[in-house]
């Protein structure tokens, strides 16, 4: 049994000593930050449950895919939807978000927003390895999803929940994989409010 607790940027520090980012998993008295460390913890803590890595070799490949996801997917998507994220924030979070993200971008949120259509084609082209990997299997993990699926899908879920910008054309074959991910765990991800259905 688990409980999800939405958290504002300005409240992250109150989660626990030294906490600066989310997600954070609280397992009893233990706090684990960072998606990768959370996955490692769950894999060790629940060895009788479905594996996230599929063994040590799979874990190394998942680590590689996480780095590819951050550089090739997460960073470009962030640049395209950053202003949309800003508009969804609690007003108390907006000044911090604007200052920190504009410093990171080297431009205003509005300027990044105005440029986003020019980056969409190159982002879609960068997805070709993902399309090829999913051409003959329902998930990156094969018959069942692994951490690799969750970390890549998370980028699309983040975008579809915060931005009306459609990252994929309507006929992109990746829609089928996204739909399968949305249906996992009783459709948990599909029930989240979103701008685009799949």
**In sequence order, which residues have a C-beta less than 8 Å from that of residue 39 and are 6 or more positions away?**
52, 53, 62, 147, 150
pLDDT number for residue 181? 98
Per DSSP, the three-state class of 82 is: helix
Q: What angle do CA 79, 85, 89 make, to 5 degrees?
A: 150
Query: What tens-digit pLDDT sequence spans the chain (198 residues)?
Result: 788 888 999 999 899 888 888 999 999 888 999 999 999 999 999 999 999 999 999 999 999 999 999 999 999 999 999 999 999 999 999 999 999 999 999 999 999 999 999 999 999 999 999 999 999 999 999 999 999 999 999 999 999 999 999 999 999 999 999 999 999 999 999 999 999 888
Q: What angle do CA 134, 165, 20 make, to 5 degrees?
A: 85
Q: Specify the pTM.
A: 0.93
145 neighbors 154 (Cβ within 8 angstroms): no
């Amino acid at each position: 049994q688990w409980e999800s607790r939405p958290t504002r940027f300005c409240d992250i520090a109150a989660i626990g000593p030294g906490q600066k980012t989310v997600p954070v998993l609280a397992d009893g008295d233990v706090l684990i930050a960072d998606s990768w460390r959370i996955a490692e913890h769950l894999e060790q803590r629940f060895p009788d449950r479905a594996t996230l890595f599929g063994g040590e070799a799979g874990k190394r490949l998942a680590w590689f895919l996480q780095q590819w996801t951050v550089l090739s997917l997460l960073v470009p998507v962030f640049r395209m939807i950053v202003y949309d994220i800003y508009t969804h924030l609690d007003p108390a979070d907006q000044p911090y978000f604007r200052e920190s993200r504009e410093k990171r971008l080297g431009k205003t949120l509005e300027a990044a927003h105005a440029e986003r259509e020019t980056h969409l084609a190159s982002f879609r082209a960068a997805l070709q390895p993902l399309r090829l990997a999913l051409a003959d299997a329902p998930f990156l993990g094969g018959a069942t999803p692994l951490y690799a699926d969750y970390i890549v899908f998370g980028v699309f879920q983040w975008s579809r929940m915060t931005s009306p910008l459609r990252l994929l054309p309507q006929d992109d074959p990746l829609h089928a994989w996204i739909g399968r991910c949305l249906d996992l765990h009783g459709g948990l991800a599909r029930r989240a409010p979103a701008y685009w259905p799949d």
